[in-house]
Amino acid sequence: MSLYSLLLVPALFAMELIYFKIADRFNIVDKPNARSSHTTLTRRGGGIIFLLAAVWWSAAHGFAFPWFLGGLVLIAGISFVDDLVSVSNKIRLLCHFAAFAMMFHEWTLFSTFPWWISVVALIFCVGIINAYNFMDGINGITGGYSLAVLGALAWVNFQTPFTENSLLWTMIAAVLVFCFFNFRKRALCFAGDVGSVAIAFVILFFLGKLMIETGDVTWIVLLLVYGVDSVLTIVHRLMLHENIGEAHRKHLYQILSNELRVPHTRVSLGYFSVQALISAGFILVAPAGTLARWAFLIVAGTLLSVFYALFMKKYFHLHLSK
């Protein structure tokens, strides 16, 4: 076992605890707002550990993937600033597009595929980043769901190598450390925008490399649960003639936590479990290069959508009655 591996978890714990000292010193706390599912002040920005872990891995490996790392620093940096003071949507989106352009350069996407694929991918990735951020509203959900996705990616990487294994496991270790402080009844810290955006950026980096390596876009199934919840929530809000840019508490996980009073950790474990089962089923059941992959994706997406619709039909009135 290498010295890096031996020091990894202790170093990540130390980084997180040092950040807690900084957050306490400068009063970096999350104050409940219109879409919050918590009522007490809690440290914000604990998800900075995801950025620190990636930087540490890169430094220990000769600053590998420099364009990816630069994009991560940019997108996590503007998100951390947004955690402290409000940043205009234009500046934030500009940084998001610039960060993904750097990631695409790392993938050699611009020189490998037609220009329009890069444009579609850019819009799609920015949308996923923001959806991932909006889903970060209860204890454990960002850490738990990210573990489900990263675990599936590690499984696939063992079978069909597409990226550096040590980077994947470094990020898994970082998420586990974050979960130690966040995946509990009363969280000691929240991820903040810096955390949810950073881990989403890392996951998209891995997912994009996998799709390019295999030439198979159906790997998006690894984000299916978040995707269905996010897309259908937007559709639902449009049907209600709401401004989708305003804060809200209409995601399925929010109805479960706020209206049905299901403990945060149980809801988060549910999202983790459903995504893990879907990912495992996809990897085991659907052979590579066959229509079975598309069939699995469509059937799983349809079942999740039907469940979402039935759930909202039965319980959404509880939200309206408040």
Domain boundaries, the chain: 3-320
Q: What is the pLDDT of residue 8?
A: 95
Distance, CA of 250 to CA of 256 (rounded, Å): 10
Is it the case that residue 1 has pLDDT exceeding 80?
no
Is it the case that residue 184 has pLDDT exceeding 60?
yes
Q: What is the pLDDT of residue 35?
A: 55
Is it the case that residue 252 has pLDDT exceeding 60?
yes
CA dihedral 155→231→30→276, nearest 10 degrees, is: -20
Asked if 110 contacts 159 with a C-beta cutoff of 8 angstroms, the reply is no
Is it the case that residue 197 has pLDDT exceeding 70?
yes
29 secondary structure, DSSP code: E
Q: What is the pLDDT of residue 32?
A: 64
Antiparallel, parallel or unpaired: β 42-43 and 29-30: antiparallel
Q: For the residues of 38-97, what is the DSSP string, one character each? A: --S-EE--TTHHHHHHHHHHHHHTTS-SHHHHHHHHHHHHHHHHHHHS---HHHHHHHHH
Distance, CA of 187 to CA of 250 (rounded, Å): 22
Q: Say if pTM beats, i.e. exceeds, 0.85.
A: yes
Q: What is the pLDDT of residue 159?
A: 92
Q: For the residues of 257-319, what is the DSSP string, one character each? A: IIIS---HHHHHHHHHHHHHHHHHHHHHHS-TTSHHHHHHHHHHHHHHHHHHHHHHHHHHHHH
Asked if 135 contacts 272 with a C-beta cutoff of 8 angstroms, the reply is no
233 pLDDT band, cuts 50/70/90, is very high
Phi, psi of 43 (to 5 degrees): -55, 135
Q: Which two tokens stand for residue 214?
A: 């295999």
Task: Report pLDDT digits (tens) over 280-308.
Answer: 999 998 776 788 999 999 999 999 999 99
Is it the case that residue 5 has pLDDT exceeding 90?
no
Is it the case that residue 34 has pLDDT exceeding 70?
no
**% of the chain residues with pLDDT over 70:** 96
Q: What is the pLDDT of residue 33?
A: 57
Task: Report pLDDT digits (tens) over 45-97.
Answer: 999 999 999 999 999 999 999 999 999 999 999 999 999 999 999 999 999 99
Is it the case that residue 236 has pLDDT exceeding 60?
yes
